[in-house]
Amino acid sequence: MKKSATSRRIFIRNIGIAGMSFGLGIHANSLFGKSITKGKRIGIIGLDTSHSIEFSKVLNNPAAGPEFAGYKVVSAYPKGSNDIESSSSRIPGYTEEIKKYGVAIAGSIKELLDNVDVVLLETNDGRLHLEQALLVFKAGKPVFIDKPVAASLKDVIAIYEAAKQSKTPMFSSSSLRYFQDAEQIVKGKYGKVLGAEVHSPAHLEKTHPDLFWYGIHGVEVLFTIMGTGCKTVVRVATPDTDLVVGTWDDQRIGNFRGLRAGKIDYGLTVYAEKEIITLNEFPGYNPLLQQIIHFFETRESPVDPQATLEIYAFMEAADESKRKGGVPVSIETVMQMARKT
């Protein structure tokens, strides 16, 4: 695709997360011969996602940089999805693999919580997140909850309310939020953002609302650029494609295209006052992991909870629009319906 005078393509180097293979049998609180400082011990709930392995590779690498502040994964509880085969089938292999990085396997979430200071809730199945999160909140451990926050808008709201009531620091985000140049775009490097179009994979999982399972990545990018304030959502859906159009309170339009056929990839076009910016590559996990560690250090979420709630309300409104044949659905309406339950 040629670069026009009114647009430029910003290529973001895909940051690979290199790992090392470490010996087995290393005690979790004395990784690589060094005692882990209390306050820096991470526990992982859920070994049904590659994120658990990738995060452990980076953090438990003896050469981990200062940006990771000495945090190490010391314990992991494998469960984990029960009936989503694509996730549950990974658990045995990932359980064995994570041991290579000196991580002890816990027999229960309680056992894990007794031996860690902070938590990565990585279970792929969002239906389990409310129950698991409540145990973490009861223990008062700061927690990062990987996408999706839950498998329904009402559970997402319940999790955030429980975190607030228990005064437990909580943070959730897709790794795609932290792509290069995002902050500068939002701060006005190219003038005001007038609109945006995002495409991403949008594979479906019957146990979750359509966009919660994978479309969340693209939707989070859309909200990263557009900000909050979406009022109505319209969705057109076919077996291979979703097109979800949101209208913001200042009359800006942002849309998400979910891909399930043909070439499936991530991409973003931002319509700004001074330029049209196109991004076709996004970073690996390191930028998100750095934000997670900063969150553990400060106990302050880098993403406003209200912004995350609006993202999930947008996706729920998209489902409601589909059910109603593509009519506009109000974000506020779906929020009110979810809060009632």
H or E stretch covering 201: strand 193-201
pLDDT of residue 31: 61
pLDDT of residue 125: 96
Ordered per-residue pLDDT tens for the chain, 341 residues: 433 433 333 333 333 333 333 333 334 455 644 567 889 999 999 999 999 999 999 999 999 999 999 999 999 999 988 899 999 999 999 999 999 999 999 999 999 999 999 999 999 999 999 999 999 999 999 999 999 999 999 999 999 999 999 999 999 999 999 987 888 999 999 999 999 999 999 999 999 999 999 999 999 999 999 999 999 999 999 999 999 999 999 999 999 999 999 999 999 999 999 999 998 877 789 999 999 999 999 999 999 999 999 999 999 999 999 999 999 999 999 999 999 98
DSSP code, position 275: -
Fill in the amino acid letter for 168.
Answer: T
**Alpha helical stretches, state H, the chain:** 50-59, 85-88, 91-99, 109-113, 129-139, 153-166, 182-186, 210-213, 216-226, 286-298, 305-323, 331-340
Tokens of residue 39, six digits: 């306050």
Q: Which residues make beta-bridge pairs with 105?
A: 76
Rounded Cα distance between 139 and 149, Å, is 19
Among the listed residues 175, 215, 126, 189, the one whose alpha carbon sits nearest the alpha carbon of residue 303: 175
Q: What pTM value is reported for the model?
A: 0.89
pLDDT of residue 281: 76
- Number of H-type helices and E-type strands within the chain: 12, 14
Residues 6+ apart with CB under 8 A from 266: 176, 199, 200, 201, 217, 218, 221, 280, 281, 282
Cis status, amide bond into 148, omega within 30 of 0: yes
Among the listed residues 331, 308, 318, 258, the one whose alpha carbon sits nearest the alpha carbon of residue 146: 308
Among the listed residues 56, 156, 69, the one whose alpha carbon sits nearest the alpha carbon of residue 98: 56
Specify the 3-state DSSP secondary structure of 215.
coil
pLDDT of residue 24: 36
H or E stretch covering 72: strand 72-77
